[in-house]
Amino acid sequence: MSDFVIENGILKKYTGKDLCVKIPEGVTKIGDYSFKDCTITSIEIPQSVKEIGIASFAFCEALENISLPNSIEKIGQDAFSSCKALTQIYIPKSVKEIGRLALDGCTSLECIEVDEENQAYRTIKGTLCSRDGKTLICYPRGKRGNVIIPNGIVEIGEDVFKNHSLIKSVRVPNTVTKIGKGAFYACSSLSIIELPNSVTHIEDFAFGGCVSLKIVELPNSLVKIGNESFELCSNLSFIRLPNSIKEIGDKAFRFCTVLTNIKIPKGVTKIGEYSFNGCMGLRAVDLPSTMKSVEKGAFSNCDSLKSIKLPSSITKIGEEAFAHCVKLKSIELSSNLEEIGKDAFLRCKELEKIEIPKGVSKIGKGAFVGCQALLEINVSSES
């Protein structure tokens, strides 16, 4: 007992040095971080334990075997994160809740098994799914190569493939309607993603940091691209946006540095703040007549952008919208423009001339600061 710090049934800390550990009877919860970074290889948990806390066994990199008793009801967030030697895990029927990223970084884990009588979860081809089989919850980090999502899945859940460095391609069935938050975030080897004409929503961070993605064709069913959904896809050279798109989230394509052109389809009313910020290879942008404004920082730091024409529907250019577009030489402003935001064209060093439409009633501070080549600003006499 001297190897354990236990308070009111909660195992607070393991202080021993044994590789094979048996938790004492009477413990009801394995506390948060209680075994974090330990060198244990196996753990025996008594029937008295009902909960495994946050990151309880995180970074126990030598842990090979763990047997969960049929008393566990909750497995906390990051509970077994980065247990790199763990090859399989069995979820008993008593488990009602499994926290986010509970098995993240378990790079040897090839199979997740669930008791057939469990009422919250089930196994489909070694993956963890909701009981009804509609939501994919966890994909083992030891599975590698090409992924085929099982038929019948409706939602690819939050963080399902996050940080999975071994998958190269993913085929999504036509039953899927939603790609969850962070679902494929930082899948560094993912180069091919096939999305069917059933997907309507790609949530925040879904494909962020997928540095091997080069070409993406989004389905004609898609309505929304979430915040930062393709941010830091540094090799993405082409993406097709379908006509069904209505909204592009903040920082959606930020730092897609080799993306050369983008056509925003008609029907899009908003592209979010900093949506194309840092797209240094972007040379051509086609904006639709349905857009009302260019949001804050939307095209800032687009080093290769030389010219742009704003449709007549645009009434506002937000702060820093085109800031640091160092090769921007010409811009045709909307005839219905009313406002130019602060620092909108900051340090557009090659901008030579600009015509301010008659409806403009406000120009923010520093809108043209650092425009070294700007020799002519023509302001309509009616402005």
Question: DSSP labels for 70-85?
Answer: TT--EE-TTTTTT-TT
pLDDT of 286-310, one tens digit each? 999 999 999 999 999 999 999 999 9
The span from the CA of 353 to the CA of 375, in Å, is: 6
Residue in 239, 320, 314 with CA at minimum distance from that of residue 269: 314
CATH 3.40.50.2300 for domain 1-106, yes or no, is no
The span from the CA of 173 to the CA of 196, in Å, is: 7
CA distances from 166 to 89, 149, 234, 235 (A): 20, 16, 18, 18
pLDDT band with cut points at 50, 70 and 90 for residue 65: confident
Indicate the pTM of the whole model: 0.93
pLDDT of 75-110, one tens digit each? 999 999 999 999 999 999 999 999 999 999 999 999
Looking at residues 365-379, what average pLDDT do you find?
93
Name the residue with tokens 């069917």.
Answer: 196
Residue in 91, 158, 153 with CA at minimum distance from that of residue 121: 91
